[in-house]
Structure 1
Amino acid sequence: NTKTRDMSNPNNRMFEEFLRFVDKIAPTWFVFENVYGLTKFKNGEENIQNHIENRFRHIGYTVKSKILYASDFGVPQRRNRLFIVGNRNGIDFEFPKEFDYSVSVDEAISDLPVLENGEIQMKGEYTVPFEQASPYAQFMRQKSKAPTQNIVSRNKDYVVERYKYIGQGENWSSIPDHLMGNYADKKRCHSGIYKRLIGSKPSVVISNYRKSMLIHPHQDRGLSVREAARLQSFPDDFIFEGPVSYVQQQIGNAVPPLLAKAVMKKILTYK
Structure 2
Amino acid sequence: MSYSLVSLFSGAGFLDFGFSENGFKVIWGAELVPYFAEANNYNHQLRYGTADNPVQAVDITTVDPADIPRTTGIIGGPPCQDYSIGNSKSPGVSGERGKLVWDFLDKISRLAPEFFVFENVAALYRTKKHREEALEPLIHQFNELGYEVYFKVLNTLDYGIPQDRSRVFIVGFKKQIIQTLNDSGSDAFQWPVQTYENPKKDFEWPTTGDAVPVLDEYEFIEQMNLPYELTVHSAIGNESEMSNLRNHVYFTPYSERFQTVAEGDVKRKSFKRLHRFRYSPTVAYGNNEVHLHPTLPRRLSVREALRLQSVPDWYAFMDNTPLDKMFKMVSNGVAFKLSSLLAVQIKSVLDNYHAIIAKQPEKTSVH
Mark yes or no: TM-score above 0.5.
Answer: yes
Q: How does 1:140-155 map to 2 (within 5 A)?
A: 146-155=244-253
Task: State the partner residue of 1:32.
Answer: 118
- 88-97 or 17-26: which moved more? 88-97
How far apart are the structure 1 equivalents of 2:98 and 2:127?
10
Instruction: Say whether the 8 Å CA contact 1:196–1:216 is kept in structure 2.
Output: yes
Choose which of 247, 250, 253 in structure 1 pairs with 2:332: 253
> Mind listing any 5+ residue stretches in structure 2 that lack a counterpart?
1-86, 180-187, 197-226, 353-367
TM-score, normalised to structure 1's length?
0.74
Task: State the partner residue of 1:99.
Answer: 195
Tell me the CA shift for residue 171 of structure 1: 4.2
- How many pairs align? 221
Identity %: 30
Tell me the CA shift for residue 105 of structure 1: 0.6
Instruction: Confirm or deny that 1:111 pairs with 2:111.
Output: no
How far apart are the structure 1 equivalents of 2:231 and 2:345?
25
Change (3 A) 1:72 1:52: same
**Which amino acid in 2 is paired with 1:150?**
H
CA deviation string 1:141-191 (max 9, x = no partner): xxxxx40111111242xx2x113222222147xxxxxxxxxxxxxxxxxx3
- 191-200 or 222-231: which moved more? 191-200
Instruction: Say whether the 8 Å CA contact 1:103–1:202 is kept in structure 2.
Output: yes
CA deviation string 1:178-218 (max 9, x = no partner): xxxxxxxxxxxxx3411111111221110125831111011
CA deviation string 1:12-63 (max 9, x = no partner): 1111121112112211111111001111345699342111111111111111
Tell me the CA shift for residue 126 of structure 1: 4.8
Tell me the CA shift for residue 2 of structure 1: 3.0
**Which amino acid in 2 is paired with 1:256?**
A
TM-score, normalised to structure 2's length?
0.56
Change (3 A) 1:78 1:12: same
Task: State the partner residue of 2:317.
Answer: 240
Task: State the partner residue of 1:201.
Answer: 278
How far apart are the structure 1 equivalents of 2:310 and 2:128?
32
Instruction: Say whether the 8 Å CA contact 2:263–2:294 is kept in structure 1.
Output: yes
Change (3 A) 1:8 1:209: closer
> Mind listing any 5+ residue stretches in structure 1 that lack a counterpart?
114-124, 128-145, 173-190
Tell me the CA shift for residue 69 of structure 1: 0.9
- Give the alignment's Cα RMSD to 1 decimal: 2.3
Task: State the partner residue of 2:259.
Answer: 164
Instruction: Say whether the 8 Å CA contact 1:35–1:81 is kept in structure 2.
Output: yes
**Which amino acid in 1 is paired with 2:323?**
V
How far apart are the structure 2 equivalents of 1:85 and 1:225?
30
How far apart are the structure 2 equivalents of 1:61 and 1:258?
26
SS of 2:343 mapped into structure 1: helix
| Larger helix proportion of the pair | 2
Choose which of 178, 198, 212 in structure 2 pairs with 1:90: 178
- 46-55 or 3-12: which moved more? 3-12
Q: How does 1:158-197 map to 2 (within 5 A)?
A: 159=255, 161-171=256-266, 191-197=268-274
**Which amino acid in 2 is paired with 1:95?**
W
- 7-16 or 62-71: which moved more? 7-16
Change (3 A) 1:6 1:252: closer
Instruction: Confirm or deny that 1:63 pairs with 2:149.
Output: yes
Instruction: Say whether the 8 Å CA contact 1:42–1:48 is kept in structure 2.
Output: no
